[in-house]
Amino acid sequence: MTSSQVTWTPEVESYEEQSLLMKFKFEYGGYHGYISVVVCAVGIVCSLLVIAVLTRQHMLTPSNYMLTALAICDLTTMVSYIPYAIQFYCLYGVELSVHRNTLASARFCLVHANLSVTAHTASIWITVALSVFRYSMVRRAADGRTVIASNNLKTSQCIVLLVCVLSAVVLIPNYLTLTIASSTDPATNQTLYDVVTTSSQPNATAVDEALSTFNFWIHALVIKLLPCVLMSLFGILLVLTVRRQRMRSQKLLRGSGRKNSVAKKVKCQSKSKAREGSHTTAMLVSVIVLFLITEFPQGVLALVSGLKPIYFSTLYVPLGDVMDIAALVNNGINFILYCAMSRQFRQTFLELFNIKPALHRSDITV
């Protein structure tokens, strides 16, 4: 997710000499672990509920399949983050110590750093793919072309698989730049272990420096800024296409005759289907907006840090925990979003847990 998951070595300056952001990082660090554990615990429950609802047979549509994959990626990130937060924030604080920085904890931190960034990258690009996929479907429907749900479902499955594989491939430099380093605690003379980048090691080579720089730009451009640009573009195109389709449908219905009973029936069905499609589009746009709120500032900070490296230590690192908690909140909020914006999702949730008698299900849209 951010550099704060790799290591947080105490600054050499005294507390009074640190910048306001570093003081904020130090103060907030005492609470971050507890806040993130609560957010992740709630988010895990919400993600499991989303998966349980969207995997019902009548809910299995191409868009819902991709939303399910998104929930699984978010679930993976939050499950991994809880033990990380407990070990490196809650139990032993944020400073290096013989209990906090054991070899076992460093090995876990290395696995967590790679697993969480892979799952988070996959979730970002699944959202991008979902915006493109939904736009293409709405565009085909607006042009009067046939939409075959079974073919679209297979396409969405292939897209999710491709996104996951490519996310792992793109992050190979990230896997190569992280390593476990050891140091000696002067107070106890015991060995401490931490996860660091290879370029920060005393024996770092030119290859390590180049790989670290390349990895940083991948994070800034490929994982943060490019997905934000694509999500914004296709989100806007999706809204414009839906609005144009709605205006065209209203014009056709007005000219179909008000007294014809068949026309009235078609009009009611068209309105119901258009309303359901609009809700799906609105829900997707909301997901995109939430991603933009959390990911775009990170991308801008990463870009600025790449252009002026001084900003990495003065801006990016001090705000690392804040960016982490923002991403975790975004991971767990989708359940509330789906309940608020999708009647079909609410119905299925209530039926699944027998909260109240089953209601009539509306037509399924893709």
Comparing CA positions, the residue from 79, 84, 90 lying closest to residue 40 is 79
* Token pair in block for residue 291: 């991603």
Sequence-ordered alpha helix ranges (H) in 203-260 = 206-217, 226-254
Given a cut of 90, is residue 310 above it in pLDDT? no
Kind and range of the H or E element at 197? strand 191-197
362 φ/ψ angles, rounded to the nearest 5 degrees: -80, 165
The pLDDT of residue 94 is 86
Question: Using CA atoms, how far apart are residues 62 and 36, in angstroms rounded to an integer?
Answer: 32
Out of 51-65, 214-228, 344-358, pick the least confident: 344-358
Give the model confidence (pLDDT) of 163-208 as tens digits.
Answer: 999 999 999 999 999 999 999 988 888 999 999 999 888 888 999 9
* Token pair in block for residue 228: 């934000």
The pLDDT of residue 147 is 55
Eight-class DSSP state of 182:
E
Q: Which amino acid is at 354?
A: N
Task: Please state, as a whole number, how many other Cβ atoms lie within 10 Å of the Cβ of residue 347.
Answer: 19
Out of 4-8, 24-28, 240-244, 316-320, pick the least confident: 4-8
Read off the pLDDT of each residue in 91-112 and give the average, rounded to a whole number.
93
What is the widest separation between alpha-carbon atoms in the chain?
Answer: 91
Question: Using CA atoms, how far apart are residues 149 and 172, in angstroms rounded to an integer?
Answer: 35
Read off the pLDDT of each residue in 143-154 and give the average, rounded to a whole number.
66
Q: Which residues does residue 181 pair with via DSSP β-bridges, in sequence order?
A: 194
Return the half-sphere exposure (C-beta side, CA atoms, 13 A cut-off) of residue 297: 13
Read off the pLDDT of each residue in 325-346 and give the average, rounded to a whole number.
88
The pLDDT of residue 148 is 56
The pLDDT of residue 175 is 95
Q: Which residues does residue 179 pair with via DSSP β-bridges, in sequence order?
A: 196
* Token pair in block for residue 337: 């979003």
Read off the pLDDT of each residue in 141-154 and give the average, rounded to a whole number.
67
The model scores a pTM over 0.75? yes
The pLDDT of residue 362 is 42
Find all residues with CB under 8 Å of 360, minimum gap 6, and list them: none
Better-predicted residue by pLDDT, 344 or 247: 344
Residue 304 CA from chain centroid, whole number: 22
Residue 364 CA from chain centroid, whole number: 26
Read off the pLDDT of each residue in 247-273 and give the average, rounded to a whole number.
56
- For domain 3-352, say whether CATH 1.20.1070.10 is its number: yes
Distances in Å between the Cα of 104 and the Cα atoms of 109, 142, 180, 289 are 9, 56, 11, 39
Percent of the chain with pLDDT over 70: 81
The pLDDT of residue 260 is 55
Comparing CA positions, the residue from 66, 73, 70, 68 lying closest to residue 137 is 66
Question: Using CA atoms, how far apart are residues 14 and 314, in angstroms rounded to an integer?
Answer: 15
Sequence-ordered alpha helix ranges (H) in the chain = 20-54, 62-85, 103-142, 149-170, 172-177, 206-217, 226-254, 261-307, 310-311, 320-332, 334-341, 343-352
Per domain, the residue ranges of the chain are 3-352
* Token pair in block for residue 155: 């396409």
Given a cut of 50, is residue 359 above it in pLDDT? no
Highest mean pLDDT (candidates 10-19, 21-30, 103-112, 285-294): 103-112
Given a cut of 50, is residue 12 above it in pLDDT? no
* Token pair in block for residue 23: 């003081």
Comparing CA positions, the residue from 7, 210, 223 lying closest to residue 110 is 7
Question: Using CA atoms, how far apart are residues 71 and 332, in angstroms rounded to an integer?
Answer: 9
CB 80 within 8 A of CB 327: no
